[in-house]
Amino acid sequence: MTYLSEKDLYRRYMEFFEIAERKRRWSVFDDLPWALADRTQPNADLALCAETFCAVESYMPDYVAEGLNLVRESFGQAWWHVNWGYEEAKHALSLREYLVRTGQRTAEHMLDFEADALSRRWKPPFPTIRQMVCYGALQEKTTWMIYRRQMMAAREAGDELLASVYRFISRDEAAHGGFYLDVIGACLAEDRDGTIADLYRVSSQFTMPAYDLVPDYERRVEVMRSIGINRAVFLREVFLPVLSRVGVSRRELGRAAAMNKAADRHTESLPR
């Protein structure tokens, strides 16, 4: 399969990196209002969500290693991925620091919790680069939506420190999602049918990364549902806006679904 020219990918990476360096950089140490930590009222649900997202972000070694392996021959993609990993690392760090500095978790608890989480390994859910680009777009946009909602919940609860953490990290997630959407746009221009087939396949099997690896996952999902994160919200705030942004209609996606089912039927009818 062809997959965009290296020149094009390099240009996209450089544009993303320049904006990130010039306009989006933030410091875990200097830009968050840590002075508020002592005055923060504990909130069990917000803390549990922060811990869950911290765990998901903590699979960064797997995300970076597996992703780099997949794109190692492409300068634009490999360098982009390393910058992305640096930004994701700050997300885990700021959530972790928030939990410890506000006294809602101890440093020892976080070490044990992360060790437990990382005793399981994340594997990429799809085999090709283009499918992982589609997955990246949906995953980043979902993460952005979740963090924006958490930011508002933190603000409502009077926790300005946590709201500030979510504000910075959701800005990064929006930029990551935007990059993947641009790449999907270029893929569509190159091979529309193939890219739509990938988009269908990924969306029909989509789950957030590593959630099933995080300790005590079922209880965490319950809390996330109770704060309004569910499949309907995913469709309305993530999936349909993604389709509209890349200019793919639901009809085109439906056609890809029908072709996929026909291909499955054909494969099932083959002698084993």
Interface residue list for Fe ion (CB under 5 A) = 88, 91, 140, 173, 176
* Strand, coil or helix: 40: coil
Is the CB of 143 or the CB of 195 nearer to Fe ion?
143
Cβ nearer to Fe ion, comparing 184 with 256 = 184
Q: How far is the CB of 172 from Fe ion (least distance, A)?
A: 6
Q: Any residues with CB less than 8 A from the CB of 263 and at least 6 apart, and which?
A: none
Measured from the CB atom, the residue of 92 and 253 that comes closer to Fe ion is: 92
For residue 79, what are its two tokens? 């360098």
Residues in Cβ contact with 79 at an 8 Å cutoff, skipping those fewer than 6 apart: 13, 17
Rounded least distance, CB 193 to Fe ion, Å: 28
Burial class (CB in 10 A: 0-12, 13-18, 19+), 66: middle
Nearer to Fe ion, 97 or 140 (CB): 140
Smallest distance from Fe ion to CB 175, Å: 8
Residue 4 CA, chain-centre distance (Å), reads 23
Three-state SS across 80-105? HHHHHHHHHHHHHHHHHHHHHHCCCC
The minimum distance between CB 39 and Fe ion, in angstroms, equals 26
Query: In the bound complex, what is the minimum distance in angstroms from residue 146's beta carbon to Fe ion?
Result: 10
| Close Cβ partners of 253 (under 8 Å, ≥ 6 residues apart) | 196, 199, 200, 203, 243
Contact 87, 170 (CB under 8 A): no
Q: Which residue number, 62 or 173, has a Cβ lying nearer to Fe ion?
A: 173
Q: Minimal distance in Å, beta carbon 262 to Fe ion?
A: 35
Q: What is the dihedral of CA 180, 183, 185, 189, to 10 degrees?
A: -160
Select from 37, 173, 143 the least CA-distant residue to 96. Answer: 37
What residue type is assigned to position 133 of the chain? V
Closer to Fe ion by CB, 224 or 253: give it.
224
